Amino acid sequence: MADFNDPFAAMLALQRALESRRESRWMQGGTTGMGAYPPTNIFQKGDDFVAVIELPGMDKSDLQIEAKDNTIRISGKKAMDYDQNASVHRRERVFGTFDRTISLPVQIDADTIRAEYRDGILALFIPRAASEKPRTIKIN
Amino acid sequence: MTDQELQVQQKREVERDQESTSSGTNFLPVTDIFETPEALRVVLEMPGVGKNSVEVSVENNVLTIIGRIDFSNYKGLQPLYTEYNIGHYSRSFRLSNEIEQEGIKAELKDGVITLVLPKAERAKPRRINVS
C-alpha cells in the first residue's frame, strides 16, 4: 500500500484502491449484497477485518449491533433533531430506520468483535476465527 | 418521518469551474438549511471529519465549508469490498441574507456540522401591514 507520509499520495492511492474494489467479488457468494443502508467498506488488516460504515449524526443508543457466526447485523434509527418551526431552504439529509445484515465469506470470531463510533463513522474490528488463521508449517 | 426506511444516497462529487491544482476527488456534503427569524442554520453531513479539520468562511456573501478527512486512519488497511469512496468535503452557498460574520457559530458532532449564521440587524424580517 501507499506511503502515508505524503498525504496527497495517500489520498489518491486510497481513492483509487476503493474505486477499483467496487467490483469486488469478495462478498458475491452470499445472500447479502450491496446497496443497502448504511454504506459499508470492508478492509483487511493483517489477519483480521475492519468494516468502516458511514453513519453521520447517529445517537449511539439508537444503534444495535449483533453478531453470530459469520454474519453481523446492524440496525437502528436515525432521528431528526430539528426545530419544526424553522422555514426550510434546503433539505437533503435523510432520516429513518435501517436494518442490514452483512455475511463475511470467511469464519470470524463473533464474540470478540469490537465497535467504535467516532465522527459519524462506525468501525467494526472483526477478528478472523482462530481456526482460519494461517499457521507456519515447519519442515522436519 | 422517522419510520421511513433509509436508502443509500450516492455521494456527489464536487464540480468545479476550474480544475484544482491538487488531484483527488472531493465530495459535496449532504446539507439541510433552515431559516429562523434570527439566523440561518446550515447542517452538513461530513462523516469522518474530526474537530479542527473544518474550515468555515463567508466572503462576498458566499459561505464556504471545507471538511478534511484524516487518511492516516486508513493506514495498513487493504480494501476487500467497498461501496463508497472517501475524500475531503467542500461546498459553497450564496447567502440570501446578510450575515453578522462575527457571530457565526459552528458545532461538530458525530460527523455532522451545524452552523448558525445570525442575520445582520437590517436583514431581519419586518412584518408588512396591508393597509
Residue B30, Cβ density class (10 Å: 0-12 exposed, 13-18 middle, ≥19 buried): buried
Residue spans per domain, chain B: 25-71+81-122
Beta bridge partners of B106: B115
> What whole-number distance in Å separates Cα of residue A7 and Cα of residue B22?
11
Our CA-based measurement puts residue B130 at a distance from the nearest CA of chain A, in whole angstroms, of: 23
Which cell numbers hold the place of B49?
A: 471529519
Segment B16-36, tens digit of pLDDT = 766 665 667 889 999 999 998
Which residues from A are below 8 Å from B69, CB to CB?
11
CATH number of B25-71+81-122: 2.60.40.790
SS3 B120: coil
Residue type, A1: M
Asked if B69 contacts B87 with a C-beta cutoff of 8 angstroms, the reply is yes
Note whether A77 contacts B: Cβ–Cβ < 8 A: yes
DSSP letters, B97-121, are: S-B-GGG-EEEEETTEEEEEEEBPG
Pick A32-82+94-132's CATH classification: 1.10.1490.10, 3.40.50.10800, 3.40.50.150, 2.60.40.790: 2.60.40.790
Is the predicted pLDDT of residue B45 greater than 90, yes or no?
yes
Residue spans per domain, chain A: 1-30, 32-82+94-132
Our CA-based measurement puts residue A39 at a distance from the nearest CA of chain B, in whole angstroms, of: 6
pTM of the model: 0.84
Segment B48-78, tens digit of pLDDT = 999 889 999 988 889 999 999 988 889 889 9
> What whole-number distance in Å separates Cα of residue B86 and Cα of residue B108?
19
Low-confidence stretches of chain A (pLDDT beneath 50): 1-2
